[in-house]
Amino acid sequence: MVTGSLEVETKYEVDGDAVLPALTELPDVARESDPDVHHLDATYFDTDDLRLARAGITLRRRTGGDDDGWHLKLPVDGGRHELRAASGRSARTPPIALRRIVAGVVRDRSLVAVAGLRTERRVVSLLDEGDAVLAMVCDDRVQARRLGGGDQPEQTWREWELEVRGGRRKLTKAAHARLRAAGAQRSAHGSELARALTTSCAAPERPTVAADERASERDLLHQHLVALAAELNRLDPLVRADLPDAVHLMRVACRRLRSILRTFEKSFDAATTDPVRGDLKWLIDELGRPRDVEVLHGRLGEMLAAEQPDLVRGNARRSVDRRLRAAYRSAHKEAAEAMASPRYAELVDTLETWAENPPWSDRRDRRARRKLARAVAREWARTEKAAAVADAAAGEPDHAARLHEVRMAAKRTRYAAEALAPVWGDDATRLASAVTRIQRTLGRHHDTAVAADEVNAMAETAGAEGEDTFTYGVLRARLDQDLVRHERDYRLALRKAREPRLRRWLR
């Protein structure tokens, strides 16, 4: 079984004779624990060309201490997420559950031992008045060797590590100051593996779009293609590991990329980009199923938690939770299987080639400002057309579906305007913000409509099983009220987005 947790740690380089200072006077700290001494032996695995290290990922098998086993660390905002698995029978083959998570990074390469570290570790825990651990300070003396052929010289060093558990930011800041005052310097390596390999093991910086108003359309669009492809690669292992919000973020990146290929299609070679647009749509749909269940679970869970206790009867709360947890596991498994398919691998490979060989059309390259603004105007026209169709369907059974089409059109307008923000500045940003309000209000409307249908299905199942269905009726009534409110908010957002000043730059 794989378990995981967020790890927030800072490493410091120190001299061999440095003295670890007392830390009992730090904010919230009542006392320090007696030091625990561990002798750790770790073997790090990677491809022969260090693909994991270049992505900021580490995979190791460690013995000694209180966390024997396999450790996979993935870079996330705010730290690294560590996944653990039991040691198993083999010391040379990582568990299949961890190999699946990094499969998109490793591709067809084998995982081999690339470094070995032996560490003498002294651990001091910083405790509050209730003996809860706020932070841990490790004093490590490390011996490291690079593996994989040839005589590799052994390296030795000493370092301190501060790992924050339940402490506040005030404690972290004070601890940093105290350790620096004792002679510690922030490590330039970031991890033991980086130092052993004498290479960077930090997650690469996310590409940014640095174009300005003088940029050509190809320059601007190429920067977007590179940034979004890199975002897909960054999120790949996080989605496979089922980390919070990863599915949603990857789906958004796919939608942005597909929107650029669609909205600015005249800039691209359709024979090359049309199949990619189809593959992106396929991936968006695969990721959509777990995402939709995730949103539904959160929505109904919040509603049940906020409902009056006397209106939540029988097994409704437990039944909703159990049903949606099972549905999410199934949907996420299907999405992970899709990402393990040849179709997904081919899509990722194609996007990577666009960094060097973008799929341009024969159209002459021109300045992005005026040329691409016309494409944004076309997306807004489609939004207006969808809104008119939805208005005509008011009171009809397909009204909710027509509003969902307005949402999709508004989303494409938003992505198009945001893509031009580097060259149009506040003009594009203001339009994107106005259209975002339409998208979000209709997003809430769509999620509510889906939740209402699901509540009906749950009520039918509960009734067939002889359970009390009263609570489902309460939920449905609340959701119907929300539908009316969301549609009212949409009307207001649409009226504001129609202000002519927001589109003067599109003329």
User: Is the model's pLDDT at 23 over the cut of 70?
Assistant: yes
C-alpha dihedral, 398 to 399 to 402 to 403, nearest 10°: -150
Position 1 confidence tier, pLDDT thresholds 50, 70, 90 = low
Percent of the chain, pLDDT > 70?
98
pLDDT at 193: 84
User: Is the model's pLDDT at 269 over the cut of 60?
Assistant: yes
pLDDT at 250: 97
Q: Which domains does the chain have, with CATH numbers?
A: 3-197 (2.40.320.10), 217-354+368-499 (1.40.20.10)
Calpha distance 240→364 (Å, rounded)? 41
Position 2 confidence tier, pLDDT thresholds 50, 70, 90 = low
Position 235 confidence tier, pLDDT thresholds 50, 70, 90 = very high
- pLDDT tens column, 400-445: 999 999 999 999 999 999 999 999 999 999 999 999 999 999 999 9
pLDDT at 3: 63
Calpha distance 491→437 (Å, rounded)? 10
pLDDT at 150: 59
- Interhelix angle for 342-353 vs 270-306, to 10°? 120
- Is residue 332 within a helix (H) or strand (E), and if so which, with residue range? helix 316-339
First CA to last CA across the chain, in angstroms?
59
| Tokens (6 digits) for 358 | 């973008």
- Each as own residue / partner, the long-range contacts of residues 411-414 (CB below 8 Å, 24 or more positions apart, any chain) are 411/255, 411/259, 411/439, 412/259, 412/262, 412/263, 412/379, 412/382, 412/383, 413/376, 413/379, 413/380, 413/382, 413/383, 414/439
- pLDDT tens column, 295-331: 999 999 999 999 999 999 988 999 999 999 999 999 9
| Tokens (6 digits) for 101 | 């998570």
pLDDT at 169: 82
Calpha distance 39→141 (Å, rounded)? 10
User: Is the model's pLDDT at 479 over the cut of 90?
Assistant: yes
| Tokens (6 digits) for 419 | 């893509």
Are the CB atoms for 432 and 380 separated by under 8 Å? Answer: no
pLDDT at 165: 82
pLDDT at 416: 96
Q: Give the three-state DSSP class for 159.
A: strand
- pLDDT tens column, 109-164: 999 999 999 999 999 999 999 999 999 999 999 999 998 765 577 899 999 999 88
User: Is the model's pLDDT at 251 over the cut of 90?
Assistant: yes
User: Is the model's pLDDT at 167 over the cut of 70?
Assistant: no
pLDDT at 454: 95
User: Is the model's pLDDT at 290 over the cut of 90?
Assistant: yes
pLDDT at 199: 74
Q: Give the three-state DSSP class for 136.
A: strand
Cα 49–Cα 53–Cα 55 angle in degrees, nearest 5: 105
Average pLDDT over the chain, rounded to an integer = 92
